[in-house]
Amino acid sequence: MIEITHLAKKFAVENPKKLSEQERKDPRLQGKYFHSVKNVSLTCKSGEVLGLLGPNGAGKTTTLRMLSTALKPDSGDIKIAGKSVVKTPLIARRSIGFLSGATGLYGRLTGRENIAYFGQLHGMSASAIKQRISALSSLLELDTFLDRKCDNYSTGMKQKTAIARAVVHSPELVVLDEPTTGLDIMAAQTVLAFIEGLKQQGIPVIFSTHHLDEVAQLCDRVSVIHHGQTEFDDTLTRFKALAPGSLHQAFMAVIATGDA
């Protein structure tokens, strides 16, 4: 189970004059600090998929980066199976598979070499890496390009390879930041099927998305962040009940509440 409680993270504004008009009007801008995340709490149990929703700039990516231990929160806590990610980040990283918004693949390496390298970083043996890559290649349909250099990959190839790299060590939790952005329909469906497979294995998945059809297809829970705060965190059924027949209207209802 993943428990995120009262997370907060602010950043110093180096040059306020360079802020856009929209940024100046954001209520999170307070003096020389921008409070990207002010108060975010959510939960996700084993075998659940949680869809993290919110407008652009709401604080979703900052929240996920804190969950991945890439950023340390100013306050609040994150626990995986009762263990604090904030207090023991090195231990927590072994439990997390994280895909950021940018794939970050090494272009001069092949997909296989990229995945294997991260397996080595996690202390996996050569035989275990080989077996895991074979399994992931089948699940994510990597066979046709796995041994080509990543410089020559399409967006879909890069994204699927990056997902394989993120989960090569069989993590206890998988965190995906907009995993289907820029993908064609077939590649997106492969990724969604993979997420469904993780769910069937009892692995909790948290992923941010702007595609409400993905939420309807996969999610057990929904969390909505607006202006750096959790405005909704509950089951998909209760989210749907906010505006029967339209997830879009349900989302807009939550956002309107946060603006009130």
Query: Six-digit token pair at 71?
Result: 């950023």
User: Both 159 and 179 in a single domain?
Assistant: no
In this predicted model, what pLDDT tens digit does every residue of 73-98 receive, in sequence order? 999 999 988 889 898 888 778 889 99
Structural domain contains residue 84: yes
Give the pLDDT of residue 19: 75
Identify the residue whose tokens are 């070499």: 113
Spatial contact of 168 and 129, defined as CB atoms under 8 Å apart:
yes
Q: Count CA atoms within 13 Å of residue 254 on its CB side.
A: 25
Give the pLDDT of residue 82: 86
In this predicted model, what pLDDT tens digit does every residue of 201-212 receive, in sequence order? 999 999 999 999
User: Both 155 and 198 in a single domain?
Assistant: no
Q: Which domain holds residue 212?
A: 2-6+41-95+172-259
Angstrom CA distances, 62 to 7, 87, 100, 122, 207, stand at: 10, 18, 11, 24, 13
User: Both 178 and 208 in a single domain?
Assistant: yes
User: Both 55 and 181 in a single domain?
Assistant: yes
Domain count, the chain: 2
Question: What backbone torsions phi and psi does residue 171 show, to the nearest 5 degrees?
Answer: -70, 160
Structural domain contains residue 33: no
**In whole angstroms, what separates CA 192 from the centre of its chain?**
13
In this predicted model, what pLDDT tens digit does every residue of 151-173 receive, in sequence order? 999 988 998 999 999 999 999 99
Cβ-based neighbour number of residue 226 at 10 Å: 21
Structural domain contains residue 100: no
Read off the amino acid at residue 149: K
Q: Tell me, yes or no, if the pTM score tops 0.85.
A: yes
